[in-house]
Amino acid sequence: MEFGELLYEGKAKSLYKSEKDDELITCFRDDMTAFNGVKKDSFQGKGAYNAAVSAFFFDYLEKNGVKTHFIKMLDDHTMVVKKLQMIPLEVIARNVAAGSIVKKLPFKEGQVLNPPVIVTDYKDDEKGDPSLNDDLIIALGLVTPEELKEIKAVTLKINKLLYEFFDELGLIFVDFKVEFGRYKDTILLGDEISMDSMRLWDKKTRESFDKDVYRFNKGDVMTAYAKVVEKIDEWKREHLK
């Protein structure tokens, strides 16, 4: 498949036209950023790790009834996806208090949130991705009330599936971010599901295996990412015989 015009270059992924009008090519780059791009680095192999994990979870979710934009992998860091009209919302599910919710609200780090908390942010780096409540989302015309209800329900379903998956791997699924887009008359899960977009803690030691390792200089981020990939590969060998 030939790469077409570069349509968008984000912090860690590039999006290209493909040979088909309703498909795009996503290239996972080795770039890593934090704090809205203030901290920037590049780590060889990072894009391949995130692409592999995203492809696995898109396939896993599809098999469990969640519709996604994923079509296939072209190589270890390049993915073919359905062309979505992205909804400018970051939908965050939190199972444990960590990160910004602890800074902004009187939660304690590590506090279990049961039931999980859903937070929605407006996706705009220049505005600092401000938080939105349901009324603001509807007033801005980003989605209809019915679509918002569907998006939240799907996010909670994804959360349950991945929480149980990571629990089996000995990891706490602390929180994660997802994005959605419209494909014809259907809302699909888009973007990625990787260590860049979630927090994972070891159940016993509370060691981080996610982007926080890079954000807060907790160690070697590539070792952390490799550990997650290794655990997923072990699960695949056990369950996909």
Instruction: State the CATH number of the domain containing residue 123.
Output: 3.30.470.20
Residues 99 and 28 in one domain: no
**Span 97-119, mean pLDDT?**
97
Q: What is the pLDDT of residues 111-144, one digit of tens each?
A: 999 999 999 999 998 999 999 999 999 999 999 9
Distance linking the first and last C-alpha atoms of the chain? 30
> Looking at the domain assignment, is residue 57 inside a domain?
yes
| Single residue among 82, 111, 135 that ends a domain in this structure | 82
> Looking at the domain assignment, is residue 124 inside a domain?
yes
Residues 145 and 207 in one domain: yes
Other Cβ atoms within 10 Å of 131 Cβ, number: 15
Residues 25 and 131 in one domain: no
Question: Which CATH number covers residue 42?
Answer: 3.30.200.20
Structural contact between residues 24 and 38, judged by C-beta atoms closer than 8 angstroms: no
Percentage of the chain beyond pLDDT 90 is 96
Residues 152 and 183 in one domain: yes
Judge whether residue 174 has pLDDT over 90: yes
And the tokens for 107?
A: 């939660």
Residues 131 and 48 in one domain: no
> Looking at the domain assignment, is residue 92 inside a domain?
yes
- Sign of the dihedral defined by the CA atoms of residues 128, 134, 138, 143, in that order: positive
> Looking at the domain assignment, is residue 115 inside a domain?
yes
> Looking at the domain assignment, is residue 238 inside a domain?
no
* pLDDT at position 36: 83
Alpha-carbon span 91 to 75, nearest angstrom: 28
Residues 60 and 90 in one domain: no
What single DSSP character describes residue 21?
Answer: T
| Single residue among 51, 82, 113 that ends a domain in this structure | 82
The reply to whether the predicted model has a pTM over 0.85 is yes
Residues 159 and 184 in one domain: yes
Residues 64 and 110 in one domain: no
The total number of structural domains that make up the chain = 2
Residues 157 and 208 in one domain: yes
> Looking at the domain assignment, is residue 236 inside a domain?
no
Structural contact between residues 12 and 225, judged by C-beta atoms closer than 8 angstroms: no
Nearest to 196 by CA among 213, 181, 216, 218: 213
| Single residue among 59, 82, 105 that ends a domain in this structure | 82
> Looking at the domain assignment, is residue 168 inside a domain?
yes
And the tokens for 133?
A: 């409540």
Percentage of the chain beyond pLDDT 70 is 100
Residues 175 and 197 in one domain: yes
Residues 78 and 89 in one domain: no
Judge whether residue 1 has pLDDT over 80: no
Residues 89 and 161 in one domain: yes
Range of the domain at 161: 85-219
> Looking at the domain assignment, is residue 10 inside a domain?
yes
